Amino acid sequence: MTPILVSGAGSAVAGMSLGGSAASNYYIAGITPPQTLAANITPAPLTISGLVAKNKVYDGNTAAVVTGTPSIAGLLGSDASSLTGTVLSGTFATSQQGDNIVVTANLSTLTIGNTNYYIAGVTFPLMANIYSAVTPVVMPSITPQVTPAPVFKPTVPAKVQIDNRTPAATLVILHDIDEAKHDLLATFNADNVKYNIPSSVLVDTVLPETAKPRYVATLLNGDPLPSWLKVDPETKVLTSDNVPVSALPIRIKVKTLLDGKEIKETILTVKAM
């Protein structure tokens, strides 16, 4: 039996067969040299996680600030790759005021060390809010209350000094935006209060429904909160009980953690109105 070499660029040996009356005298041995078969292997896509888009006050443009530590998602098998660079900016889908606006992160500043892959985008869509520049943002679930100022008899002018409490005062929670502007979130009586801090204050983007963030609250300098003020780590409910006048105002820092990683730090101020 005589071997036959198949010629012709791109010819495939697998699946071919000989025909004709003399076919049994031959078999296909391979491709006629120096021809070879060739095909392309293109890079596989990777996505970037760990980024957060920040809310902003309306300024007429679509520029967005992006923070967080970028990490690679989507490597195959035992592949590994380095990732260098930081992501600092992005683009809102619109410049108009609104909630949960899609933000496209600028990933051009990132470089991956494995040329078998390329960065295709982010793992989860980034979203943030654009607040009105004229009207303060009041969370829809909060109903501000106005409590009349305490009236003391002239014969007992030192009542507050005696018990050192705020029996009829009103507490105000202020949200520090960009360390400069304050946004009124709620007012309430100071005795035995439970207040659910809105999620949009503690997280800059929409989390998956299965996400279970935790909240760690301390004083601004990192010390534990006083005994009369607590923030539940699971429900983010702020509880105050018999607030001492001498302790106000007080600034607290709330860290939002997801899978053990900090994704947002929020500074709140509690004071008497």
Q: What is the CATH number of the domain that holds 170?
A: 2.60.40
Length of the chain, in residues? 273
The answer on 97 and 52 residing in a single domain is: yes
Q: Is 141 within the bounds of a domain?
A: no
DSSP 8-class letter at 95: S
The answer on 27 and 48 residing in a single domain is: no
Q: How many domains does the chain have?
A: 3
Q: Is 48 within the bounds of a domain?
A: yes
Q: Is 145 within the bounds of a domain?
A: no
pLDDT of residue 149: 59
C-alpha 269: how far from its chain's center? 23
pLDDT of residue 25: 80
The answer on 24 and 69 residing in a single domain is: no
The answer on 21 and 64 residing in a single domain is: no
Last residue of a domain, one of 86, 115, 131: 131
First to last CA, the chain: 103
User: Which domain covers residue 19, as residue numbers?
Assistant: 2-31
Whose tokens are 């997801």? That residue is: 258
Under a CB-based contact definition with an 8 Å cutoff, are residues 110 and 46 in contact? no
pLDDT of residue 17: 76
The answer on 58 and 9 residing in a single domain is: no
Predicted structure pTM score = 0.41
Under a CB-based contact definition with an 8 Å cutoff, are residues 185 and 201 in contact? yes
Output the CA torsion 188→189→193→196 (10° steps): 0
Q: Is 151 within the bounds of a domain?
A: no
pLDDT of residue 80: 94
Of 131, 53, 129, the closest CA to residue 89 belongs to 53
Q: Is 147 within the bounds of a domain?
A: no
Of 187, 201, 182, 194, the closest CA to residue 255 belongs to 201
The answer on 262 and 194 residing in a single domain is: yes
In degrees, rounded to 5, the angle at the alpha carbon of residue 126 between the alpha carbons of residues 123 and 128 is: 165
Q: Is 140 within the bounds of a domain?
A: no
The b-or-e profile of 239-257 (16+ CB within 10 A means b, else e) is ebeebeeeebebebbbebe
Q: Is 89 within the bounds of a domain?
A: yes
The answer on 114 and 85 residing in a single domain is: yes
Q: Is 149 within the bounds of a domain?
A: no
Mean pLDDT by 10 residues, the chain (273 residues): 53 68 78 71 94 93 95 94 94 94 95 94 93 64 62 37 40 55 49 74 79 89 88 86 75 87 84 67
